[in-house]
Amino acid sequence: MSRLVIISNRVPAPVKEGAASAGGLAVALKAALEERGGIWMGWSGKSSENDEPRPLSLTEEGKVTYALTDLTGKDVEEYYYGFANRVLWPICHYRLDLAEYGRKEMAGYFRVNRFFAHRLAPLLRPDDIIWVHDYHLIPLAAELRQMGFRNRIGFFLHIPWPPADVLYTMPVHEEIMHGLAAYDLVGFQTDHDLENFAGCLRREDMGDAIGDGRFTANGKIFKGGAYGISIETAAFAEFAKKAGSHHMVQRARQSVKDRDLIIGVDRLDYSKGITQRLDAYERFIVNNPAHQRKVTYLQITPKSRSEVPEYEQMQRTVAEQAGRVNGALGTVDWVPIRYINRSVSRPILAGLYRLAKVGLVTPLRDGMNLVAKEYVAAQDPEDAGVLVLSRFAGAARELKNGALLVNPYDIEGTANALARALNMPLEERQERWRRMMDYLMEHDVSRWRDDFLNDLTA
Ligand code: ADP
Ligand code: G6P
């Protein structure tokens, strides 16, 4: 079996498979690497002071080599913060208004991709299968092809892909589209993203879908598909079952005694719709006085990409908003919103999801949204909670038969869905949950990985 080479901007620490701290994606990809042997390459997360040389730091773990590279401060500024997170991230999340184009940042993005390709090249064997992840590294295959590599190379985009009208506002859209066409397989989260991609090819007569999941562009044929990413459903459910004994989860349970818990868990990111969600919760409380002092909304939100001005601004906006709602609606013995700016460990998170009667997941746009899937997997079948889910999350396409779907821009509608969730009879909650859980047991992260790799190697 050929070796597998994975490249992603962030590389998880080389901890053992199944370790409590590792997310499902890391566990699933590590399992594939351990089976085939291979390399996981990416950025170390550090920036070095001087420009060169930046040797790869190699760590061997059984048959897997972790290859990490530092970037210079300028690289991080231009490639990571500048182009990846101030151009591609907003554009792919349909936020034209937030995209900040700069020639320097665009050049930095392509330069760092070339640098990755040059660092990777000496480690590659001719029959290695290469799998590149996410928007930071779209041009990587084109760089490798230019260096003469003929390996199978696949790409998976973890975030949404926008329609042509949105993408083509980006000055270097052509280079980005050519970058994607250099892969043998391009994977998206949903059919909708895949259709948008086909539309982008057609718009400038660059290529088209030609059936059977194949596309043409630049006189070349390549494959494209939708592969919805998922979680380790069974393992996460097991975590949640056991999490009740954790003292933090016990303390949380004690603190919400006699109250219904609503939970929101997201990176502090404008795509997650946190401000609209807080508005909807406030509206729900105002519209439903019977629920006053009977609910607690816990929003767990670690800071993210704080050097990007929009994210920094958001930290202030959300903190002020939570403070304002608590000030306006709180009473001497009730705080309506508990707002926490930290990560929590996966076992505790699983326990908190299970405590919550409602999982409130309302991104304005999201590639998939794993929190929605984790919330479902963590529920107690005897007393299942309700998932209130944005129709603009990739997960909505998979969980629509069980979740209450909402339009996160419709504050009144989301407030009504919250009321419906909290008043839902047990039988309906169980039925809805069972439909989602059956789907997630069948479509877990291992299946996502295997479907993608089978198509790439076929
Ligand atoms: P994104 O990848 O955009 O952050 P997802 O919902 O797809 O959104 O994935 C987020 C992942 O990060 C989930 O696995 C979730 O459990 C984890 N996560 C998010 N917030 C926290 C938090 N406060 N503490 C621990 N894990 C978190
Ligand atoms: C999303 C992206 C990932 C990214 C993660 C955290 O899930 O798809 O590629 O790693 O957000 O963002 P960060 O910028 O901290 O890596």
Dump the DSSP string for 135-178: GGGTTHHHHHHHTT--SEEEEE--S----HHHHTTSTTHHHHHH
Q: What mean pLDDT do residues 334-340 have?
A: 97
| CA 81, chain centre distance (Å) | 17
Q: How many whole angstroms from 264 Cα to the centroid of ligand 1?
A: 10
Q: What is the pLDDT of residue 152?
A: 98
- Say if residue 13's pLDDT is above 90: no
- Say if residue 151's pLDDT is above 90: yes
Across all residues in the chain, what is the average pLDDT? 95
Catalytic residue among 158, 184, 266, 279: 158
For residue 361, which atom of ligand 1 is closest to its CA? 6
Q: Which amino acid is at 36?
A: R
Residue 344 sits at φ, ψ, to 5 deg, of -125, 160
**Model pLDDT for residues 305-327, shown as the tens digit of each residue:** 999 999 999 999 999 999 999 99
Q: What is the pLDDT of residue 204?
A: 86
Domain with CATH 3.40.50.2000 in the chain: 4-230+445-457, 233-442
Q: How many whole angstroms from 371 Cα to the centroid of ligand 1?
A: 6
**Residue 229: CB within 6 Å of ligand 1?**
no
**Residue 300: CB within 6 Å of ligand 1?**
yes
**Residue 305: CB within 6 Å of ligand 2?**
yes
Taking every pair of Cα atoms in the chain, the longest distance, rounded to a whole number of angstroms, is: 69
For residue 343, which atom of ligand 1 is closest to its CA? 24
Give the closest residue (by CA) to ligand 1 atom 19: 266
The set of long-range contacts for 71-74, using a CB threshold of 8 Å and a minimum separation of 24, is 71/43, 71/44, 71/46, 71/47, 71/112, 72/47, 72/48, 73/47, 73/48, 73/49, 74/108
User: Model's pTM, two decimal places?
Assistant: 0.97
Q: What is the pLDDT of residue 51?
A: 72
Percent share of the chain, pLDDT over 90: 93
Give the closest residue (by CA) to ligand 1 atom 27: 343
Of 27-36, 90-99, 126-135, 367-376, the range with the lowest mean pLDDT is 27-36
For residue 304, which atom of ligand 1 is closest to its CA? 4
Closest CA to 124 of 10, 11, 3: 3
Give the closest residue (by CA) to ligand 2 atom 9: 134
Give the closest residue (by CA) to ligand 2 atom 14: 305
**Residue 10: CB within 6 Å of ligand 2?**
yes
Helix 309-329 with 274-287: angle, nearest 10 deg: 10
Strand partners, 221: 216
Q: What mean pLDDT do residues 96-101 have?
A: 96
Residue of 10, 157, 371 with the most ligand 2 atoms within 8 Å of its CB, for mutation:
10
pLDDT band of residue 23 (cuts 50, 70, 90) is confident
What is the CATH number that goes with domain 233-442? 3.40.50.2000
**Residue 26: CB within 6 Å of ligand 2?**
no
**Residue 45: CB within 6 Å of ligand 1?**
no
Residue 259 DSSP label: S
- Say if residue 161's pLDDT is above 90: yes
Give the closest residue (by CA) to ligand 1 atom 9: 370
Number of Cβ within 10 Å of residue 245's Cβ equals 10
Indicate the CATH number of 4-230+445-457 among 3.40.50.2000, 1.20.990.10, 3.40.50.2300, 3.30.70.360: 3.40.50.2000
Three-class DSSP category at 399: helix
- Say if residue 440's pLDDT is above 80: yes
pLDDT band of residue 15 (cuts 50, 70, 90) is low
Closest CA to 265 of 157, 367, 373: 373
- Say if residue 67's pLDDT is above 90: yes
Q: What is the pLDDT of residue 386?
A: 99
Determine whether 366 is an active site residue.
yes
**Model pLDDT for residues 170-221, shown as the tens digit of each residue:** 999 999 999 999 999 999 999 999 999 999 999 989 999 999 999 999 889 9
Give the closest residue (by CA) to ligand 2 atom 7: 158
